[in-house]
């Protein structure tokens, strides 16, 4: 039975307990601690980091500090988003299992909590929380861009199984992950949004080929998957047949809500881009702390982080009280992407010439140049900021909906290539 409000641990008591536990059990984040994916790491080094993440997650799980806002019935602590926020404040400065938070906890676990069967929740959510299962999104496709409802990956029913064929792309970390949450087309004779279904499947199995994509910074974390006659039991279907867009709308909500979600660990003030806490030491190393413009840049980064943090508090409160609908999560997504781009730009400007060409002694400065070149990825991964602007305009502000030529016709009749 879930705790009642009266029985629940007070937030400040929880803070004291978390602070003491972290001090005694979690490693302090040193200068080499990386939150992001591997850039120049060898595969064996990357796999060691992933295993270290699993170990950290298991340590949190064993202490009852994984899934703080997840119901106890599924392995969580059964506490509130306020407790999770306290945890995110207290874990600043410590190592944490960054590779397991997104998309495993959000949006994958969040989707299962919303739509999964009891069997699916009890089989998988405790394993997600313990680090045993790392999940990825099989969502984007080579032909679809941001239009995920135009999925061409098909699932064809064969008795009590489904046969999956197609390709997914931009799946970060698929090569070292365990399970995928997959959107597939199950009906071609209805408009595109009405013929989709959602499935879960193990990533490493016969019929799934994983190709890694090398990025500008040398990272090979993005993957493309080729799916050939993969059989999925009907028990691994999430929600109803052909009603996958109902799941998908909530899926997109969770993806856009990363900055305000109560499920993943997100140390306060440590979003993507150039971290404010690292910028003052950076300015000192590059000598920019002694000029007015350098100090202004550091101040701007801190102001952006503070504004993003306060917005991350305001939006959930407004949604919870009915002052804004849940599509307002896109405001947080837009803010997060824009802030990350600007902070990466500030970081690069503070690094100066060493951000463009550097020696081994200046490698910490040089990494800012790579971050600058990759900065726009913050506006793409997790749902593009262009799509967030559309959602804000249409579903938050009530502006006219963008015209679509494929809205009310069977998907098999949608023109997908130029006529010759």
- For residue range 87-137, list pLDDT tens digits in order: 999 999 999 999 999 999 999 999 999 999 999 999 999 999 999 999 999
Q: What is the spatial distance between Cα 156 and Cα 163, in angstroms, rounded to a whole number? A: 5
Alpha-carbon separation of residue 167 from 157, 196, 347 (angstroms): 18, 15, 37
pLDDT at 270: 55
pLDDT at 175: 96
> Other C-beta atoms within 10 Å of 159: how many?
7
Proportion of the chain in helix, strand, coil states, percent, rounded to 5: 50, 15, 35
Q: Mean pLDDT across the stretch 154-161? A: 98
246 versus 272: the higher-pLDDT residue is: 246
Query: Domain limits of the chain?
Result: 11-99, 137-244, 269-396
> What digits encode the pLDDT tens for the residues 287-336?
898 999 999 999 999 999 889 888 888 888 888 888 998 888 889 889 98
DSSP 3-state assignment of 56? helix
Q: For the chain, what is the mean pLDDT?
A: 89
Q: Which of 23-37, 90-104, 340-354 has the lowest mean pLDDT?
A: 23-37
pLDDT at 326: 84
Q: pTM, whole model, 2 decimals?
A: 0.83
> What digits encode the pLDDT tens for the residues 198-235?
999 999 999 999 999 988 777 888 999 999 999 999 99
Q: Is the model's pLDDT at 420 over the cut of 70? A: no
pLDDT at 364: 65
The reply to whether CATH 1.10.3720.10 applies to domain 269-396 is: no
pLDDT at 35: 57
Nearest 5°: phi and psi at 64? 75, 25
Q: Is the model's pLDDT at 160 over the cut of 50? A: yes
Q: What is the spatial distance between Cα 200 and Cα 182, in angstroms, rounded to a whole number? A: 6
pLDDT band, very low/low/confident/very high, at 6 (cuts 50, 70, 90): low
Please list the residues that pair with 87 across neighbouring strands: none
> 170 near 160, Cβ under 8 Å?
no
Q: Which of 65-79, 207-221, 263-277 has the lowest mean pLDDT?
A: 263-277
Instruction: Report CA Rg, the chain.
Output: 22
pLDDT at 277: 72
Q: What is the spatial distance between Cα 155 and Cα 135, in angstroms, rounded to a whole number? A: 20
Regarding the domain delimited by 137-244, which CATH topology (the fold level of the hierarchy) does it fall under? Butyryl-CoA Dehydrogenase, subunit A; domain 2 (2.40.110)
pLDDT band, very low/low/confident/very high, at 357 (cuts 50, 70, 90): confident
252 versus 24: the higher-pLDDT residue is: 24
């Amino acid at each position: 039975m879930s705790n009642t409000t009266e029985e629940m641990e007070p937030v400040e008591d929880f803070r004291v307990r978390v602070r003491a536990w972290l001090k005694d059990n979690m490693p302090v984040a040193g200068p080499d601690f990386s939150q992001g994916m591997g850039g120049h790491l060898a595969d064996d080094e990357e796999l060691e980091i992933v295993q270290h993440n699993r170990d950290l997650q298991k340590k949190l799980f064993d202490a009852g500090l994984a899934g703080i806002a997840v119901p106890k019935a599924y392995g969580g602590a059964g506490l509130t988003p306020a407790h999770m926020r306290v945890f995110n404040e207290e874990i600043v400065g410590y190592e944490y299992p960054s590779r397991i938070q997104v998309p495993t906890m959000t949006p994958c676990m969040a989707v299962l909590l919303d739509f999964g069967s009891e069997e699916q929740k009890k089989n998988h959510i405790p394993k997600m929380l313990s680090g045993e299962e790392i999940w990825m999104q099989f969502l984007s496709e080579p032909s679809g861009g941001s239009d995920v409802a135009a999925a061409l990956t098909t699932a064809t029913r064969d008795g009590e199984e489904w046969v999956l064929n197609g390709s997914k792309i931009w799946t970060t970390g698929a090569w070292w992950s365990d399970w995928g949450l997959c959107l597939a087309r199950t009906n071609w004779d209805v408009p595109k949004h009405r013929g989709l279904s959602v499935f879960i499947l193990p990533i490493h199995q016969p019929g799934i080929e994983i190709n890694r994509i090398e990025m500008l910074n040398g990272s090979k974390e993005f993957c493309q998957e080729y799916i050939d006659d993969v059989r999925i039991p009907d028990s691994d279907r999430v929600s109803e047949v052909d009603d996958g867009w109902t799941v998908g709308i909530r899926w997109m909500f969770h993806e856009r809500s990363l900055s305000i979600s109560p499920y993943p660990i997100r140390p306060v003030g440590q979003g993507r881009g150039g971290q404010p806490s690292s910028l003052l030491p950076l300015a000192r190393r590059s000598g920019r702390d002694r000029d007015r413009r350098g100090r202004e840049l550091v101040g701007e980064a801190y102001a952006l982080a503070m504004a993003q943090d306060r917005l991350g508090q305001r939006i959930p409160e407004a949604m919870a009280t009915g002052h804004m609908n849940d599509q307002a999560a896109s405001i947080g997504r837009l803010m997060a992407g824009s802030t990350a781009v600007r902070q990466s730009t500030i970081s690069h400007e503070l690094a100066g010439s060493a951000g463009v060409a550097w020696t081994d002694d200046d490698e910490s400065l040089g990494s800012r140049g790579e971050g600058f070149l990759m900065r726009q990825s913050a506006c793409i991964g997790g749902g593009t900021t262009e799509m967030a602007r559309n959602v804000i305009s249409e579903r938050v502000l009530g502006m006219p909906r963008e015209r679509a030529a494929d809205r009310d016709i069977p998907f098999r009749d949608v023109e997908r290539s130029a006529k010759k």
